[in-house]
């Protein structure tokens, strides 16, 4: 074989090897390109549970006047948005987005309230479901832990980094887990993380062995439970703590279904935490900008609570609502503090999924409360609805694009 023939055969062999070796890479590249176009198409039609892009200029959401009259019952699949004197309010971007999300996930019963922390204006009051209202009281679930934590911080000076011992799971509801001795157990958790993970045993034993029924009742009253203030519908929340040990533990942990809270009142509670412990208390004529402030906890207590609530979003029970499937935080540059709650209720029957939130943590602007009642067919949690409310407030431009609003 001469040199020319040898070169020709060698090049032919190299081409054959290259074709066989590159085939897997070509297939992988093709799959990647197809996957990219499929992902873009699904996101464009809104069928995926992706979140709107947040690389847009932040704009202030349009304000709304304060709601002062209980909304009439909403029909099934229909939201009610009420303003002063029972007049319907024009939908701003927040209420439109909430309405859209309730439609998208077929929420049968739910409510969302958003309040401006600095001015106490009501930004949104939306309720859905026959007979379901943002001003009626429902089982408060683990939102009660905010009251328990306030009493622990203020009365016993328990710092966020204090360590607690317990047995069983965070969500345990057994009497033994709630009452088996203060700080007894093989597992350890900090006070902050106990709030973030909504640890029932820690808060049950804290209420029973440290706070006690009379002090716990005092802090419920401080947060305006059991009071008729201004229009009666504003404060329908009720809380009565018995002297029975099991009842004290269950109440402190948020497991007592008789402790009730309205979504509007829940928003006012976190508004107080956001505003250095000052609650905006509604009077008659609240819709005409007449309101007063009451110091429900000290500024230092409010500051510590706010910091502890931050962990709920980052490492606790709300993480799934604020991070998308790729693990990216959906509110870029906006820190959020929150608390969740979950309990079974009977009117209407279902699992009540609560969320209260504050943002931004460093300089709070908005306080949100959301609740969704899930029956046999689950839709979404209150934390997801709360996260979407904050998204509409801080990034209205992106939400407008998704709603095709100019």
> What pLDDT is attached to residue 1?
57
Assess if residue 215 is contained within a domain.
no
> What pLDDT is attached to residue 53?
35
Does 63 score more than 50 pLDDT? no
Residues 26 and 136 in one domain: no
Residues 330 and 264 in one domain: yes
> What pLDDT is attached to residue 185?
85
Assess if residue 357 is contained within a domain.
yes
Q: What is the pLDDT of residues 211-243, one digit of tens each?
A: 999 999 999 999 999 987 655 455 678 999 999
What number of CA atoms fall less than 13 Å from residue 114's CA on the CB side?
Answer: 28
Q: What is the pLDDT of residues 267-281, one digit of tens each?
A: 999 999 999 999 987
Assess if residue 169 is contained within a domain.
no
Ramachandran angles phi, psi of 119, nearest 5°: -115, -10
| Paired strand residues for 166 | 187
Q: What is the pTM for the complete model shown?
A: 0.78
> What pLDDT is attached to residue 42?
42
Assess if residue 60 is contained within a domain.
no
Residues 367 and 291 in one domain: yes
> What pLDDT is attached to residue 227?
83
Average pLDDT along the chain: 82
Identify the band that residue 181 occupies on the pLDDT scale cut at 50, 70 and 90.
confident
| CA dist list (Å): 48 to 45, 100, 374 | 8, 15, 21
* Distance separating alpha carbons of residues 99 and 95, to the nearest angstrom: 6
> What pLDDT is attached to residue 405?
77
Assess if residue 74 is contained within a domain.
no
How many domains does one find in the chain? 2
Q: Which residues of 128-149 are buried (b: 16+ CB within 10 A; e: fewer)?
A: bbeebbbbbbbbbbbbbbbbbb
Q: Do β-strands 278-282 and 366-374 pair in parallel, antiparallel, or remain unpaired?
A: unpaired
Identify the CA nearest to 379 among candidates 15, 91, 108: 108
Give the mean pLDDT of 294-306: 95
Does 141 score more than 90 pLDDT? yes
Assess if residue 264 is contained within a domain.
yes
Identify the CA nearest to 256 among candidates 147, 337, 377, 375: 147
Residues 9 and 135 in one domain: no
| CA dist list (Å): 66 to 3, 119, 249, 275, 312 | 92, 10, 36, 18, 29
- Asked if residue 261 lies in contact with residue 137, where contact means CB atoms within 8 angstroms, the answer is yes
> What pLDDT is attached to residue 51?
39
Residues 147 and 276 in one domain: yes
Least confident of 36-40, 56-60, 157-161, 202-206: 56-60
Give the mean pLDDT of 376-403: 91
Does 62 score more than 60 pLDDT? no
Residues 132 and 267 in one domain: yes
Assess if residue 150 is contained within a domain.
yes
The CATH number of whichever domain residue 312 belongs to comes to 3.40.710.10
> What pLDDT is attached to residue 37?
62
> What pLDDT is attached to residue 75?
42
> What pLDDT is attached to residue 147?
97
Residues 268 and 340 in one domain: yes
Question: Pick the residue with more confidence: 69 or 39?
Answer: 39
Residues 270 and 320 in one domain: yes
> What pLDDT is attached to residue 101?
94
* Distance separating alpha carbons of residues 329 and 322, to the nearest angstrom: 6
Residues 99 and 4 in one domain: no
Assess if residue 165 is contained within a domain.
no
Give the mean pLDDT of 242-256: 95
Residues 307 and 373 in one domain: yes
> What pLDDT is attached to residue 152?
96
> What pLDDT is attached to residue 18?
56
Range of the domain at 396: 79-158+259-403
Give the relative orientation of helices 213-222 and 245-253 as an angle to the nearest 10 degrees.
40
Does 24 score more than 80 pLDDT? no
Does 90 score more than 80 pLDDT? no
Residues 27 and 145 in one domain: no
Q: What is the pLDDT of residues 325-345, one digit of tens each?
A: 888 999 999 999 999 999 999
Which H, E and C letters describe the chain, residue by residue? Answer: CCHHHHHHHHHHHHHHHHHHHHHHHHHHHHHHHHHHHHHHHHHHHCCCCCCCCCCCCCCCCCCCCCCCCCCCCCCCCCEEEECHHHCECCCCHHHHHHHHHHHHCCCCEEEEEEEECCCCCEEEEEEECCCCCCCCCEECHHHHHHHHHHHHHHHHCCCCCCEEEECCCCCCCCHHHHHCCCCCCCEEEEHHHHHHCCCHHHHHHHHHHHHCHHHHHHHHHHCCCCCCCCCCCCCCCECCCCCCHHHHHHHHHCCCCCCEECHHHHHHHHHHHHCCCEEEEECCCHHHCCEEEEECCCHHHHHHHHHHHHHHHHCCCCHHHHECCCCCECCCCCCCEEEEEEEEEECCEEEEEEEEEEECCCCCCEEEEEEEEECCCCCCCHHHHHHHHHHHHHCHHHHHHHHCCC
Residues 17 and 142 in one domain: no
Least confident of 3-7, 86-90, 277-281: 86-90
């Amino acid at each position: 074989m001469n040199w020319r023939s040898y070169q020709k055969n060698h090049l032919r062999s190299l081409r054959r090897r290259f074709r066989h070796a590159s085939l897997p890479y070509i297939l992988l590249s093709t799959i990647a390109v197809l996957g990219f176009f499929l992902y873009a198409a699904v996101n464009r039609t809104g069928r995926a549970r992706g979140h709107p892009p947040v690389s847009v200029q932040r704009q202030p959401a349009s304000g709304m006047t304060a709601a002062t009259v209980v909304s009439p019952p909403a029909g099934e699949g229909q939201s009610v948005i009420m303003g002063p004197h029972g007049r319907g309010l024009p939908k701003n971007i927040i209420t439109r987005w909430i309405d859209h999300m309730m439609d998208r996930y077929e929420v049968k019963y739910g409510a969302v309230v958003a309040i401006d922390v600095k001015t106490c204006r009501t930004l949104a009051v939306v309720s859905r479901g026959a007979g379901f209202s943002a001003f009626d009281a429902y089982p408060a679930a683990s939102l009660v832990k905010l009251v328990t934590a306030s009493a622990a911080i203020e009365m016993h000076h328990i710092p966020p980094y204090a360590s607690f011992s317990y047995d069983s799971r965070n969500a345990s509801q057994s009497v033994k887990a709630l009452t088996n001795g203060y700080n007894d157990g093989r597992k350890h958790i900090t006070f902050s993380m106990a709030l973030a993970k909504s640890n029932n045993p820690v808060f049950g034993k804290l209420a029973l062995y440290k706070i006690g029924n009379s002090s716990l009742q005092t802090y419920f009253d401080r947060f305006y439970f059991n009071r008729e203030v201004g229009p009666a519908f504003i404060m329908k929340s009720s809380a009565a703590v018995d002297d029975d040990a099991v009842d004290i533990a269950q109440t402190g942990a948020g497991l007592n279904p008789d402790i009730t809270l309205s979504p509007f009142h829940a928003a006012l509670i976190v508004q107080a935490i956001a505003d250095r412990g000052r609650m905006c208390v509604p009077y008659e004529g609240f819709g005409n900008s007449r309101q007063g402030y009451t110091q429900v906890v000290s500024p230092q207590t409010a500051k510590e609570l706010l910091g502890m609530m931050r962990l709920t979003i980052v490492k606790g029970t709300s993480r799934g609502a604020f991070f998308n499937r790729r693990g990216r935080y959906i509110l870029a540059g906006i820190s959020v503090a929150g608390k969740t709650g979950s309990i079974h209720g009977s009117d209407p029957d279902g699992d009540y999924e609560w969320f209260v939130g504050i943002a931004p943590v460093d300089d709070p602007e908005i306080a949100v409360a959301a609740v969704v009642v899930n029956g046999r067919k689950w839709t979404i949690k209150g934390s997801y609805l709360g996260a979407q409310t904050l998204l509409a407030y801080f990034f209205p431009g992106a939400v407008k694009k998704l709603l095709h609003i100019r």
